[in-house]
A and B are shown apart, each in its own frame.
Chain A
Amino acid sequence: MSIQVEHVTKRFGTFTVLNDVSLHVQTGELIALLGPSGCGKTTLLRILAGLERPDEGKILLHGNEVTDRQITDRRVGFVFQHYALFRHMTVAENVSFGLRVLPKAQRPSPDKIQKKVNDLLALVQLQAMADRYPNQLSGGQRQRVALARALAVEPKMLLLDEPFGALDTKVRKELRRWLRRLHDELHITSILVTHDQEEALEAADRVVVMHQGRIEQAGTPEEVYEHPATPFVYRFLGDVNVFHGRIAHDETVHEEMERELPPGADSSGEHEVTFVRPHDLELSPTRTTTAQLEATVRFVIAAGSRVRIELMSKDSSQTIEVELTKERYRELKLRQGDVVFVHPKQQQTFRMPGPSSG
C-alpha cells in the first residue's frame, strides 16, 4: 500500500510540530524518519496511524483519502517504543488480540487463531514463550511480541515508533538487521521512526531527515550521507568538522571552497560554513601546497578499527577531529603535541544568511 502525506500541518497549542510536510512512500518500501527528539517524526507517524488528527493537509493510503477515517479502518500495524504489550495477557493472548476482537462474522475459528499465533511466534522466534507474561520477557523479546501482535491483523502498512530505542546497543543492532530481513520477506510498506542515524542508514530503503517539523532531505542512505542537502543533515548524520569561514585564511582551502559555491554567488554579507567529515581530512607532517592549516595533536584514540585524532587549529584554537586508518597512523608516527598540516579530501560549503551567525 502506498502512503501519501500531503501538506500536513499539526499544532499543539501554539507550538507547530509539523509544518507543511509532504511525503510519498511507495508500496513495499521501508522508510526511516530520522531526526532529533521534538522534530515531529513521532507525531507524523501517529497521524498516519490515526492516533492524531492533522490540523491541515491530507493523508492518502493507496490513493484513498483517510484523513477522517477511524484508526480501525486503516489496517495499520503500530509498534510502540515501550512495547505497549497488554500486561495482563500472555504472549499468545497478546498476539491473538487483534483477531479475537474482530466482529463474529470475520473472526477466524479458535483453531485457526491458534495456528496463526504459532506461525507468528515462529516468525519472531518466540514459540517457547507463548504462555509467559510480558514482564517475564526481556526488552528485545517484548518488542518481537509487539511486532508479532501487529502483524497478526495482516496490516497493509507497518509503523514503528522508535521500536529499538529502549534496548541496549547490541540487541538493537541484531533486531534492526532482523527487521530488515523480515521486511525483505514480507514486503509490507513500513515506516521506522528513529533518532539513531546508524539504524536509519542501515535498515531503510530511503531516509527522510526531519528537523523542526519540516523534512530537510529525503533520499537513499547513500545520498543523504554522501550528499547532505543542508547543514543540519550534515551535522546530524555522523561526525563532522565545521569551519566558520576562518579556514578562508588559508588560500588553497579557500579556493576549493569557492568551487563548491553555486556559480555567480555573491558571498559578500553572507557567512560561509564548510563541513568536512573526520575521515575526509588528510594529515601531512610538513606544509605542502595543499596542506596549509596548521594544528597540534591533542589526543590520539587508537582503540577500534580506525584511529581518531583530536587536533587544535593554530589559528582559531578550534578543535578538529580526524579519522585515519591504522596504516596511515603508523606511517605518520603521530604523538601528542606534534604539529601537523591538515588537508581536506572532500568538503562541502554552505552559505548562511547574515554575517557570522552560524
Chain B
Amino acid sequence: MSTEIATTVKNEEWKASLTGESTWVRWTLIALALGYLTLFLFVPLAAVFAEALKNGLESYFAPFQDPDTLVAIRLTFIAAALAVPLNLVFGVAAAWAIAKFEFIGKQLLITIIDIPLAVSPVISGLIYVLLFGAQGWVGPWLIEHDIKIIFALPGIVLATIFVTVPFIARELIPLMQSQGREEEEAAFTLGASGWQTFIHVTLPNIKWSLLYGIILCNARAMGEFGAVSVVSGHIRGLTNTLPLHVEILYNEYNAVGAFAVASLLTLLAIVTLIVKTVIERKSGPAQSAHDPAWSPQPGSPS
C-alpha cells in the first residue's frame, strides 16, 4: 500500500517536472492567471451584487415593483425569444451548407455571417434607422401604411437578430467541418432520407456545440445595448429593454436600482451557464461531442 502511494507521488513529481520549469516559475504563472481572473472577472461580478444589495433587500427589490422595469424585462424576453429561434434555424442551415457542401459564393456567405461581429453595434442599429426611419428608404411607405418599426418592438427585434446572427453558425461551422461528411454519406447509403439523416445523424453530433451557440446567442440577445439603443428611442415603459433601463436608472443617480436590474441580467447569464453544465454532465461521457476520444478522425487521403 505504502509503496503504491510512493509511486504515485513520484509520478506526480515526475509529471510536474516534465517541462523542467522551476517551482517559482510555475507558481508565478498560476498566480498571474488567478490574479487576472479575479481582477477582471470575479471582482466586477461581485461588485454588481454588492452595490445592488448595499441598502438591504428592500431597496434591492424596489426597482422590480416599478412597471417600467417589468416592461423592460418583458421586452428583453420577447426580443430574445424571437431572435434566438430564428438564428437557430438560420445558423444550423448555414453551417450545414457551409460545412458539408461546395457551392459558388461559399466564402462570401462566410464573410457575410461575420459582418455583425466586425461592425460596431451602433452602426448595426443605424442601418435599420436608415432603412425604416421616417427619413429612411422605406420610411414614408411605412408611415403611409401606419406600420411602426423604428422606436417600436419590430425595430428592437430586428436589431437584436442582426447582432446575434453569427453566434450559432460560427459555433457550428468548425465542428461540422472537422466531422466531415462520411457519417451522412453512410446514412444515405443505408437508405436514410435527407431529413432522417439530419435528425438522427447530424443533429446528435452537433448538439453540444449547438447548445453552447444558443447560450451565447441568448446572452447577447438579452444583453445587446448599442444596436437596440439606436432603434428603440428609449421610451420609458414602452421601448426600453433591460440594458437600456440599467443605463437610464444609472443616469438618474439611482445606483442601487441600476445595479439591482443589472444583477438580474447577470443572474440570467449565470443560470444559463449552470443549466448547460448540468445537461452536459447528465448526458454521460460516451455521447459527449467534447469527449477527447471524439476528436476528428483522420481525413481520408485518397
Contact = CB atoms under 8 A, between A and B. Distances in A.
A86 B300 contact: no
B294 to A, nearest CB: 6
Interface string A96-111: 0110011000000000
A88 B202 CA distance: 10
Interface string B258-302: 000000000000000000000000000011000101100110111
Contacts of A85: 183, 186
Contact of A81 (B187, B196, B300): B300
B200 interface: yes
Interface string B151-189: 000000000000000000000000000000011011111
Given A37-B301, A135-B294, A195-B302, A80 B191 contact: no
A98 B201 CA distance: 12
A97 B187 contact: yes
Interface in A151-192: 152-153, 162, 165-166
B144 to A, nearest CB: 50
A153 B300 CA distance: 25
A78 to B, nearest CB: 4
A350 interface: no
Interface in A244-290: none
A104 to B, nearest CB: 12
Interface centre among B188, B189, B193, B204 (most CB of A within 10 A): B189
Interface residues on A, range: 35 or more
Given A82-B182, A82-B297, A135-B294, A37 B302 contact: yes
Contacts of B43: none
A105 to B, nearest CB: 14
A122 interface: no
A133 B286 contact: yes
Contacts of B200: 86, 97, 101
Contacts of A76: 189
B190 interface: yes
B189 A150 contact: yes
A162 B182 CA distance: 14
Nearest to B189: A78
A72 interface: yes
B302 A97 contact: no
Given A72-B191, A87-B183, A97-B192, A135 B300 contact: no
B205 interface: yes
A166 B298 contact: yes
Contacts of A218: none
A37 B196 CA distance: 33
A146 B293 CA distance: 18
Contact of A87 (B192, B193, B205, B300): B205
B298 A82 contact: yes
B176 to A, nearest CB: 14
Contacts of A98: 190-192
A136 interface: yes
A77 B205 CA distance: 23
A135 B189 contact: no
B183 A86 contact: yes
Contact of B188 (A72, A82, A152): A72
A320 to B, nearest CB: 32
Given A84-B185, A87-B294, A42 B302 contact: yes
Contact of A51 (B185, B191, B196, B204): B185
B192 A81 contact: no
A80 B186 contact: yes
Interface of B: 182-183, 185-193, 196, 200-201, 204-205, 286-287, 291, 293-294, 297-298, 300-302
Given A42-B300, A76-B189, A86-B183, 9 more contacts: A72-B191, A78-B189, A80-B182, A98-B190, A101-B196, A149-B186, A149-B190, A150-B189, A153-B191
20 contacts: A41-B302, A51-B189, A72-B193, A76-B189, A78-B189, A80-B182, A81-B300, A82-B182, A84-B182, A84-B185, A88-B287, A98-B190, A101-B187, A101-B191, A135-B293, A149-B186, A149-B190, A150-B190, A152-B190, A153-B191
Interface of A: 37-38, 41-42, 49-51, 71-72, 76-78, 80-88, 97-98, 101-102, 133, 135-136, 146, 149-150, 152-153, 162, 165-166, 195
Shortest Cβ-Cβ A-B pairs, 10 listed: A98-B190, A84-B182, A78-B189, A84-B186, A101-B192, A135-B293, A88-B204, A133-B286, A37-B302, A82-B297
